[in-house]
């Protein structure tokens, strides 16, 4: 078995080859650029937030497989969630990826994210997995501040 | 077949026995840093266990032995690059520091507003940022010699760009991305005709190509010992005597002075004027062993081996079909550095799949972001060879790339 099986397991490859919610939103309530300075990977996140709920989310990414798959999974899970729920999910995912002591248990509806847990074994790649999520945190913050909310 | 006995050479490098998850290490990241032979490693412990002392001041046996060993390496380096004088060899930390030394000391004394500094489009950040800072401070202008379709310097443009406004040309001997070996002798001639000086970044070139500063007629040459079998922490600055003599010191403090008063000081002579503070004694001494190792092999044989393996690799990797290889197609025009992309797979994914096969390659922008933009890529994967690499290792790389293409190739949605 190759080490890469951790990284390139089916779920990740599926999202990598067919990224969900790929593209742009024409008039988003929030638009954020994320950059991983280590490798220069870039992504643009578009959000439509109405009445505190994520009505639409789209991503265009120029990144590695981990980055692309992670963003695709994130978009699928957060679409339709309230900003508050979304923030909680992002924080939970970040904790799973970053906490070295505690093994974070994911609820059933987030089990797809299990596929990304293997990335923890490759410290340099954790940033790739987190880039979409950190960009999302910023986007959710902006969406709340955005005047179109009222 | 080249004259190098690669099987024998491999026995001199303890790390090549290393296994990663049961697989034999295949080290193809030599452009980042080379591995070290036993003689270099032994020289480090030999110094620390036998004659560790500070140099140039003690009047005891150890200090004398250490000073002699350290200064002997200066002569070894002089001979290796065919400089005229031993005092033209200055020890720094690495190539980057050597370039900073020149940009600061020579640059501040010579660059005026409106002057032009000519670089190439393929410079490593180390031979770019120090000049950017100097140009900004001095209101000088940076000018870039572009590259041709197959990654060579556009010499026709060079002839136009190097002008009476040019004060210095700073160019790499060999590109760490494209592998291109540049026509330095011609550039030096163009620079000198216009009254400019030339600095050559030999970080990639000197380890692989026989280099004579007198034949090339360059004013400054920098290189790093860690890329040529030596330890980390030692760079070389070569400079012509009259230029070095006229330059003010870079770092100041102990060792570089002649006389010191409370309010003023005078500098000592070359080369020590540029070696402030306690030097990296152990690593300089071990660097001497690295040069001796290369000299015993013969730099012409090193070059011949690398042409052979590069030619083989270019041909083998092209069998992948889905691969883009950057730089000259002709192995005699380039060093053993091959940058490539497979399909539209991200370079880090290629690096990862190679790593799983115990193959060390580099992935990313290789400290050449402007060149990446010129090539219109985010980054590349890069395999780079040295004296201990074999065609079998190229075959293993080929297999890993095939695997990467199978797992990750042909992405639909981008
Ligand atoms: C062409 C070139 N110049 C300069 C450098 C910088 O060398 P160092 O990091 O030893 O200062 C490198 C090393 O990667 C290089 O490839």
Which residues in B lie closer than 8 A to residue A8 (C-beta atoms)?
353, 407-408
The CA distance from A17 to the nearest CA of chain B, in Å, is 5
The CATH number of whichever domain residue B357 belongs to comes to 3.90.1150.10
Give the C-alpha separation, B50 to B164, whole Å.
55
Residue A1 has a pLDDT of 37
Our count of domains for chain B comes to 2
Give the C-alpha separation, B357 to A84, whole Å.
44
What the block records as the tokens of B2 is 């080249």
Q: Which residues of A touch B (CB under 8 A)?
A: 2-4, 7-8, 13, 16-19, 22, 39-41, 62-67, 122, 125, 128
Closest atom, ligand 1, to C-alpha of B123: 1
B35 domain-assigned: no
Residue A100 has a pLDDT of 87
Complex ipTM value: 0.81
The CA distance from A16 to the nearest CA of chain B, in Å, is 8
Q: Is the pLDDT of residue B194 over 90?
A: yes
Q: Is the pLDDT of residue B269 over 70?
A: yes
* Region B115-140 average pLDDT: 98
Give the confidence band of B135 by pLDDT, cuts at 50, 70, 90: very high
B204 Cβ below 6 A of ligand 1:
yes
Dihedrals phi, psi of A107, to nearest 5 degrees: -65, 160
Q: Which residue of B has its CA nearest to A128?
A: B348
B36 domain-assigned: no
Q: Is the pLDDT of residue B413 over 60?
A: no
Residues A86-117: pLDDT tens digits? 999 999 999 999 998 888 999 999 988 998 99
What the block records as the tokens of A94 is 């970040």
Q: Is the pLDDT of residue B237 over 90?
A: yes
The whole-angstrom distance between residue B231's C-alpha and the CA centroid of its chain comes to: 13
Which residue in the block uniquely carries the two structure tokens 């180390």? Answer: B126
Residues B325-363: pLDDT tens digits? 999 999 999 999 999 999 989 999 999 999 999 999 999
Residue A5 has a pLDDT of 65
Residues of chain A with pLDDT under 50: 1, 3, 149-150
Q: Which structural domain, as residue segments, surrounds residue B202?
A: 41-295
B201 Cβ below 6 A of ligand 1:
yes
Give the confidence band of B1 by pLDDT, cuts at 50, 70, 90: low
**Domain locations along chain A:** 3-145
The CA distance from A116 to the nearest CA of chain B, in Å, is 15
Residues B80-117: pLDDT tens digits? 999 999 999 999 999 999 999 999 999 999 999 999 99
- Cβ atoms of B66 and B281 within 8 Å: the answer is yes
B176 domain-assigned: yes
Query: Out of B355, B379, B412, whose CB is closest to A17?
Result: B412
Residues B42-89: pLDDT tens digits? 999 999 999 999 998 778 999 999 999 999 999 999 999 999 999 999
Last residue of a domain, one of B252, B276, B295: B295
Q: Is the pLDDT of residue B414 over 60?
A: no
Under CATH, which number does the domain A3-145 receive?
3.90.1010.10
């Amino acid at each position: 078995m190759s080490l890469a099986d951790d990284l390139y397991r089916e779920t990740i490859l599926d999202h990598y080859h067919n990224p969900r919610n790929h593209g742009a939103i024409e008039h988003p309530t929030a638009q954020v650029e994320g950059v991983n300075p280590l490798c220069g990977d870039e992504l643009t996140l578009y959000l439509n937030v109405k009445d505190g709920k994520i009505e639409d989310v789209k991503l265009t990414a120029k990144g590695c497989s981990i980055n692309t798959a992670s963003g695709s999974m994130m978009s699928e899970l957060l679409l339709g969630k309230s900003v508050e729920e979304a923030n909680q999910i992002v924080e939970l995912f970040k904790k799973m990826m970053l906490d070295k002591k505690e093994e974070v248990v994911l609820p059933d509806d987030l089990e797809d994210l299990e596929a990304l847990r293997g990335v923890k074994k490759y410290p340099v790649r954790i940033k790739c997995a987190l880039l979409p999520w950190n960009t999302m945190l910023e986007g959710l913050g902006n969406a709340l501040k955005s005047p179109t909310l009222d | 077949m080249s004259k190098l006995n690669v099987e024998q050479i491999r026995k001199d490098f303890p790390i090549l026995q290393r296994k990663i998850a049961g697989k034999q290490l295949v080290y193809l990241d030599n452009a980042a840093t080379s591995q070290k032979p036993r003689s270099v490693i032994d020289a480090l412990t030999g110094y620390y266990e036998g004659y560790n002392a500070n140099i140039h001041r003690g009047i005891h046996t150890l200090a004398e032995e250490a000073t002699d060993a350290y200064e002997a390496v200066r002569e070894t380096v002089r001979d290796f690059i065919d400089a005229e004088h031993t005092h033209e060899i200055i020890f720094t930390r690495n190539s980057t520091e050597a370039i900073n030394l020149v940009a600061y000391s020579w640059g501040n004394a010579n660059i005026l507003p409106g002057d032009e500094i000519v670089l190439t489009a393929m410079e490593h950040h180390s031979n770019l940022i120090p000049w950017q800072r100097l140009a900004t401070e001095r209101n000088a202008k940076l000018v870039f010699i572009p590259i041709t379709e197959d990654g060579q310097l556009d010499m026709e443009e060079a002839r136009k760009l190097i002008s009476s406004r040019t004060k210095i040309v700073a160019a790499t001997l060999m590109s760490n991305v494209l592998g291109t070996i540049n026509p330095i002798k011609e550039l030096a001639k163009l620079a000198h005709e216009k009254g400019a000086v030339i600095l050559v970044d030999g970080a990639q070139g000197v380890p692989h190509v026989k280099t004579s500063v007198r034949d090339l007629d360059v004013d400054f040459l920098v290189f790093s010992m860690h890329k040529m079998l030596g330890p980390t922490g030692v760079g070389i600055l070569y400079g012509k005597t009259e230029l070095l003599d006229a330059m003010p010191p870079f770092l100041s403090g102990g060792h570089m002075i002649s006389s010191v008063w409370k309010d003023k000081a005078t500098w000592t002579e070359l080369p020590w004027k540029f070696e402030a503070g306690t030097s990296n004694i152990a690593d300089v001494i071990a660097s001497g062993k690295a040069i001796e190792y290369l000299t015993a092999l013969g730099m012409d044989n090193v070059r011949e081996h690398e042409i052979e393996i590069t030619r083989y690799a270019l041909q083998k990797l092209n069998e992948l079909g889905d691969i883009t290889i950057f730089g000259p197609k002709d192995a005699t025009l380039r060093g053993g550095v091959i940058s490539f992309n497979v399909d539209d797979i991200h370079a880090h994914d290629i690096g990862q799949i190679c790593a799983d096969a115990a193959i060390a390659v580099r992935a990313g922008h290789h400290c050449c972001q402007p060149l990446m933009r010129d090539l219109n890529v985010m980054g590349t994967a890069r395999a780079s060879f040295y004296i201990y690499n074999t065609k079998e290792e190229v075959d293993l790389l080929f297999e890993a790339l095939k695997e990467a293409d199978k797992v990750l190739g042909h992405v639909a949605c981008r």
